[in-house]
Amino acid sequence: MKNAQGFIFLVLLTTLVTGCTTAPMLSERQVITEYDEVAALNSRLKDDKSNGLYDLAPSGFAAAEAKLTEAISLGRTKRDDRVIALVKEANQIVDKAESDAATTKNLMREVLDAREMAIAAGADTLYQEQFGVLDNKLRKAAQKVEDGDQEGAKKWRPEMIQGYAEVELEALKQDATEQAHRDITDAVQKEADDFAPKTLKLAREELALAVAVLETNRTQRQKARGHAKRSSELAMQSVEITDMIKDFERRDFSMEEIVLWYQKQLSLINEPSGEVLPLYLPNHEVVVTLRDKLATYAEMQQSEMATRMDLQSRLEAVERENREAQARYAKIQNLFGPSEANVYRQGHNVLLELHAFNFPSGQSEIQSENFALLDKIVTAIHSFPNPSVVVSGHTDSVGGFSVNQNLSQRRAETVASFLEKVGGFDKTRLTAIGYGESRPVASNETAVGRNTNRRIEVLIINE
């Protein structure tokens, strides 16, 4: 019994001691969060990797990664001093690795340029095996730089430049000519070699031209694609010719029936013209007649299209001018209060009907109280790009026709002179006209009507 109790006590004691002395393990993320030095090293290595430096100093960066892994492992059990020491060692390794990568980049600049061009052409995907072999050679050359053997690394440059250039060219060929190859293969399977050999031959020649263009100058991709496209078209045409010939043979068409079928096709093309095609003429004349009709139709279409485009352009211009005129009118309208002026839009022009001018009775001098109103008129005129302005004076019927005519002219000239001298407008674009009592807008039988008739109008003409 005592032995059993002693054993149980020993187990409990061992469990208690173990529980008290064993610290909880941190995760990798927790270690990186816990140690700023580890986080900084981890970020540095990620940046170097994303910038493509790892392949330019593979041994150094592999060693730095190993130190980081060891530091994280020790950090999980909070071995602080050793973690910091390992991070310091790793940063020293990275310093050298980055320096070696810069040296490799400088030594292998032409190789790296060739590699980038190959990647742009899709060679890293289309020719993964060959591309991988070249990348392995690049890493080995980089290791020679790390070992201080720059001359040894230089010896591999010609081979790698040529290798990347070759896979780039093959990728360009495949990209430009892949569809043409498929179409020619399809044509051969459908017996175009037997029934349309000349057309299929032309397809093969266009494909060869596409390849030759790239081999001569790989920057002429568009030209190569043009030849490849034509190759595809000819291959598909050879299939259509093959199908037609087979159909004629299946129906047992005579030569006359084939020609009649051909003429019927011409007639269908001509049908929209509403005229009968002169099939009794020699074939070349029939073709010329049809060609001329199509040319005339095309010219009419082009002319109609040009007219439509011109009308559309004019309509857009009118709509744009209308929007600008409306916006300008709204802006000017907001300048004046109801007691100062009525603002009217007249097409693209604006008329200001001003009732707030307080000329002394029988006089034409502008009063200082009207300067603010004149400033608003100046602002309104400046809303136009290059306007002409007509200032007109109007009176009521009191005082006699001749007197009112003369007074209205002087007042219009006074306002026009202000616009010239203070507003800065060209005198040649300003016109002053006095209408006296000849253009009333209200009855002169009432005081209100006479007050309304005594006015200055400013017509701003948009030119």
State how far Cα 35 lies from the chain centre.
45
The pLDDT value recorded for residue 40 is 92
Cα separation, 461 vs 392, in Å, equals 13
Structure confidence at residue 79 (pLDDT): 81
Low-confidence spans in the chain with pLDDT less than 70:
1-24
Burial of residue 262 (number of CB atoms within 10 Å: 0-12, 13-18, 19+): exposed
pLDDT in tens, 204-258: 999 999 999 988 988 888 899 999 999 999 999 999 999 999 999 999 999 999 9
pLDDT for position 23: 52
| Backbone torsions φ then ψ of 56, nearest 5 degrees | -95, -10
Q: Is 77 exposed, middle or buried (0-12, 13-18, 19+ CB in 10 A)?
A: middle
Locate the domains of the chain by residue range. Answer: 22-107, 180-257, 335-461
**Contact assessment for residue 87 and residue 35, using Cβ atoms and an 8 Å cutoff:** yes
* pLDDT of 8: 43
Distance CA 371, CA 392 (A): 18
Closest CA to 197 of 241, 249, 255: 241
Q: From residue 384, how far is each of 323, 392, 457 by CA, in Å?
A: 14, 19, 17
Residue 351 has φ and ψ, to the nearest 5°, of: -110, 125
Q: How far is CA 58 from CA 67, 139, 143, 334, in A?
A: 14, 7, 7, 73
The class that CATH gives domain 335-461 is alpha beta
Q: Is residue 98 within 8 Å of residue 57, measured between CB atoms?
A: yes
Give which of 218, 122, 112 is closest to 156, Cα–Cα.
Answer: 112
Structure tokens at 36: 């700023």
Are 385 and 460 a contacting pair, CB within 8 Å?
Answer: no
**Residue 371 CB coordination number (10 Å):** 12
* pTM (global) more than 0.75: no
Sheet holding 349-354, edge to edge: 341-346, 349-354, 455-461, 388-394, 430-436
Tokens encoding 411: 């007042």
Residue 433 bridge partners (DSSP): 392
Give the Cα separation of 52 and 349 in Å (integer): 66
